[in-house]
Structure 1
Amino acid sequence: MSTTVIEQYKVEANGYHPFLIREGWQVAQLNYMPEQHINNIKKLDVHFLTDEVFILLKGEAVLIGAEIENNNVTFETELLKPSITYNIPANAWHNIAMREGSEIIIVEKSETHVSDFEFFQLNDAQIAELKQMVTACFDNKKKLKANDTN
């Protein structure tokens, strides 16, 4: 009797796709979609019951962390590197800015995308600040690449 033990998953469509959901945890793939372009990010989200792990498969993305106190936002940004595991702890505000063609694996508690989230809408000044910080991360990568080729 032959059985298949090894499962394979490949997600090609744009957007967020939980594809491996088991009791207590899930793996999802986030492929670039226009909502994740820095020009379109207008909010942050938080999960209260889970950490959220991000692994860049390909492309360029900036992970955004934030602390919010009295509607004041302090941003932290990190240009993701392939093969590095990044974690956003539970109760931390975050989002991710992506360039077209980018793909990210996300690991978190199961059903997080269904019920464990809250949003914080950014105001115009916060959006402008975030855009400047993310753009600087992307531009810094370009500068580093240019220096590597010289």
Structure 2
Amino acid sequence: MNLIDLYNPLGAGYNPFLIGPLWQTAVLNYAPEESLERIEKLDVHHLTDELFVLLEGQAVLIAARIDADGVVDYDLRNMQPGTAYNIRCGVWHKIAMMPGSRVLIVENANTHLGDFEFYDLTPSEREELCRRVIACRTQSDR
């Protein structure tokens, strides 16, 4: 008798694996596009919060507020395994992952199909983000 479904998505990048009528789960496995050096944009969801849990490896969760003048203000967290981090609806975000990292994601159903918008970082914004993430990696979680 099989009453328990098993999921262990191993493919690189974003892997939604259980999509119900109201919510979905996914695993984001490290891919080169998820490394700090390759981050070129932030994304936001207008209809849902998004929950992140570091399963293994090292990752920095990036949240940002972008004011009316285009000034980006970051809130960074050096993710700890097993801790749930919620990014509220309307908050710009991204994850800077190290090789071997895996992050569980829970959000509204089918969010990955349309509830997102991107903000392209300027070269100076990317430089500032890289500097801040590197500093965050060397500090303990606040």
Q: Give the structure-2-normalised TM-score.
A: 0.95
1:36 maps to: 34
4+ long deviations beyond 2 Å: none
The offset of 1:140, in angstroms, is 2.9
SS at match of 1:54: strand
Q: Which runs of 5+ in 2 are unaligned?
A: none
Q: What SS does the corresponding residue of 1:140 show, helix, strand or coil?
A: coil
The alignment status of 1:129 with 2:128, answered yes or no, reads yes
Query: Superposed, which structure 2 residues align to 1:1-150 within 5 Å?
Result: 3-69=1-67, 70-140=69-139
SS at match of 2:139: helix
Residue identity opposite 2:42 in structure 1:
L
SS state of the match for residue 136, structure 1?
helix
Which structure carries more helix by proportion?
A: 1
Q: Distance in 1 between matches of 2:138 and 2:31?
A: 20
How big is the shift at 1:35? 1.0
Aligned residue pairs, count: 139
Partner Cα distance (1:136, 1:36) in 2: 18
CA root-mean-square deviation: 0.9
Structure 1 unaligned spans of 5+:
142-150
User: TM-score, normalized by length of structure 1?
Assistant: 0.90
